[in-house]
Chain A
Amino acid sequence: MSEDAENSIDVALMARIGAGDEDAFRELIERHQDRVYGTVARMIGGAGPDAEDLAQQIFLRVWRAAPKWQPTAKVTTWMMTITRNLVFSFSESRARRKEESGESIDPETGETFLTAKGGVTKRNPQEELSGKELVREVERACAQLPKNQRMVVHLRQQEEMEYEEIAEVMGMSVLAVKSLIFRAREALKIKLSGYFRASN
């Protein structure tokens, strides 16, 4: 089904949700739960109770906003914007609390990023890696990116969103999004260069 058709379904569901239709709300959740939960989990460093709580909060915001919602943007873009806002404030408050969360402040950008318990493992790049180990290394490398870069990489690579949509979600220009992706790509290339051959 095309993206426009998918969005039309979402818009219709939003109209029903705005009228208080719980069945429509359930349908919307089921349509987008993996996208929302997956993004939250990727952004806060893994699945778990925090990710579930945040993902639920996102859908509750959708429910509350539905009566006044206007289809000015795609529903998925709007939901990803809510996701970004909640996830970023969660990360900031977690950093402020200075809990043992594994997050640090990037001295250059002031952004929070996950140190992902141990960081990328120092090992011989030529060493054979099992599929799971390699995935773990890639996840660690991504988790070490500053949150803005992590978010745009996720939206582009995993959610396959257009630059314009990502720019709307992130509240920045398309050029700024491209710049973030470029920086993320360079950082990932350095972190994962040793595993390129191993992945083949």
Chain B
Amino acid sequence: MRKQEKNQEGEFSPELAELLGRMPRVKAPAWFAAKTLARMRSEREKVRGWFGLPRWAVVGAGVAVLAVGMFRWDSHQNVRVSDAEVFAALDALVEDEKESRWWAGL
């Protein structure tokens, strides 16, 4: 009905409109909706990342933890231990060893 109205406006001649009207409408393939939904879910998972959080948040948190860890590691490097403390610890180890051997009857 509407096509007829358009043709009367002179937009497409009846013959041309008839020819164009012969072109079949291309239909979506089977399972198109299901496949599109699956693709949407897969993309959403990629964006979402882990634990239901956005991937950028998880990656950002990971980087922050690493940065803090490195900082803490560096701060440990600055700890100074006196020689006496080292020797005392070694002596304690030797004493421990001696006591163990005594208890073992060696």
B-binding residues in A (CB < 8 A)? 22, 25-26, 29-30, 33-34, 36-38, 41-42, 47, 51-52, 55-56, 59-60, 63, 131, 134-135, 138-139, 142, 153, 156-158, 160, 181, 185, 188-189, 192, 195-196, 199-200
Which residues of B from 61 to 98 have beta carbons under 8 Å from A?
Answer: none
> Which of these, A52, A135, A189, A196, contacts B32 with CB under 8 Å?
A52
- Chain A residues closer than 8 Å to B27, beta-carbon distance: 34, 37-38
**Chain A CB within 10 Å — which of B13, B20, B29, B43 has the most?**
B20
Contact-residue bracket for chain B: 20 to 34
Q: A29-B32, A196-B15 are in contact. Are A41 and B22 (CB under 8 A)?
A: no
Q: A25-B40, A56-B36 are in contact. Are A160 and B2 (CB under 8 A)?
A: yes
Q: How many A-B residue pairs have CB under 8 A?
A: 100
Q: Tell me what chain A mostly uses at the interface: helix, strand, loop, or mixed.
A: helix
Closest to B44 in A: A63
18 A-B interface contacts by CB (under 8 A) = A22-B37, A22-B40, A25-B40, A29-B36, A33-B28, A33-B32, A37-B27, A37-B29, A55-B32, A60-B43, A135-B24, A138-B19, A142-B20, A156-B6, A158-B23, A160-B2, A185-B12, A189-B16
Closest to A40 in B: B26
Q: How far apart sit A22 and B38, CA to CA, in the bound complex (Å)?
A: 11
| B20 A160 Cβ-Cβ under 8 A | no
Q: How far apart sit A22 and B28, CA to CA, in the bound complex (Å)?
A: 19
> Which of these, A37, A56, A59, A138, contacts B20 with CB under 8 Å?
A138
Since A26-B37, A34-B25, A188-B16 are in contact, a sample of 16 more A-B pairs with Cβ atoms closer than 8 Å, ordered by chain A residue number, is: A22-B41, A36-B28, A47-B29, A52-B35, A59-B40, A60-B36, A60-B40, A131-B22, A139-B23, A142-B23, A156-B6, A160-B6, A185-B16, A188-B20, A189-B16, A196-B16
Q: How far apart sit A51 and B35, CA to CA, in the bound complex (Å)?
A: 14
Interface string of B38-52 (1 = CB under 8 A from A): 011101000000000
Pairs A-B, 6 closest by C-beta atoms: A33-B28, A37-B28, A196-B15, A41-B26, A38-B26, A29-B33
> Which of these, B19, B28, B35, contacts A195 with CB under 8 Å?
B19
